[in-house]
Amino acid sequence: MSISVLILTKNEQQDLPDCLKSVAWCDDVHLFDSFSTDRTVEIAKAAGCVITQRKFDNWSAHQNWGLANIPFKYAWVLYIDADERVSAELKEAALAAGQDGAPESAFRLRRRDFFSDGTWLKHAQISPFYLRLFRPSKMRYERLVNPVSIVDGLIGEVGGYLDHFPFSKGVGFWLERHLKYADLEAMTILENRRNQTPFSLWLAFNANDFTQRRFHQKEFFYRMPFRPLVKFCYMFFLRLGFLDGRAGVTYCYLQSIYEYFIVLKQREVDYGRK
């Protein structure tokens, strides 16, 4: 064994049992909990998990604190959420890759998102690749929500799938959660504009520094008119989301609604500054 597992939770008594089953092979599972009020911690303790609790403030600060303070047994950490499941293929690939002598600092893995009816959103899913297997000392996060992974060192790739069930609690819960995400996205946009240089279209596509290029690309998208419609067209037509059937079409609509949430929250933030 060479890998620890980290699971972030807040009131995840519904999804946690199946998540824990998918990592039962690991003898160092850590639950990083934001003071759940349901049976989440009880379930984790019964499964032998190590429990660490901290009040959630924002995604990057929370994740960075966890990586710096949780006493992992092994040099490599596989980070997952309670609504995710580690496939048998991913387990084998991760164990083979996460060795002490490996030159990499992190590995990229592929995630499969599923709709509530069990449909794999193969085409509609915006990004299937995530940096979830890493050396904690070589990883940090940026942004208040939907954080960006910043790796110090080489990045590899592992096979297998991390299966994700974002609609396990229903579409209503998904919308409620993304309304909260929209608040943090609007705050992030304001924070970036306050701390960064003025927007440059040239830097959005030509900057050598990845972080700088990402900032200007996001600013380009945030300044785009009819952003929710643009996002829908991108997912539906360019990414061929319609090939995922009814589930894919619904997911494209939901993502455009989420983008409109962000637009509305941006307006509220801008109005509050005047």
| Beta-bridge partner residues of 221 | none
CB atoms within 10 A of CB 168: 16
Among the ranges given (26-35, 223-232, 253-262, 263-272), the one the predictor scored with the smallest mean pLDDT: 263-272
Q: Give pLDDT, residue 94.
A: 98
pTM tops 0.85: yes
Q: CA-to-CA distance for 51 and 29, rounded, in angstroms?
A: 9
The residue behind tokens 């690749």 is: 129
pLDDT for residue 197 is more than 70: no
Superfamily for domain range 3-164: Spore Coat Polysaccharide Biosynthesis Protein SpsA; Chain A (3.90.550.10)
DSSP-assigned letters across all residues of 6-31: EEEESS-TTTHHHHHHHTTT-S-EEE
Average pLDDT over residues 132-156: 92
pLDDT at 29 over 80: yes
Per-residue pLDDT reduced to its tens digit, 99-122: 999 999 999 999 999 999 999 999
Pinpoint the residues of the chain covered by CATH 3.90.550.10: 3-164
Model confidence pLDDT, tens digit, residues 228-245: 999 999 999 999 999 999
Residue 209 predicted with pLDDT over 60: yes
274 has pLDDT over 60: no
pLDDT of 50 strictly over 90: yes
Q: Would the pLDDT of 178 be above 60?
A: yes
Q: What are phi and psi of 233, to 5 degrees?
A: -60, -40
Across residues 86-93, what is the average pLDDT? 98
Q: Is residue 271 scored above 90 in pLDDT?
A: no
Using alpha carbons, select from 123, 118, 108, 93 the residue that is nearest to residue 25: 93
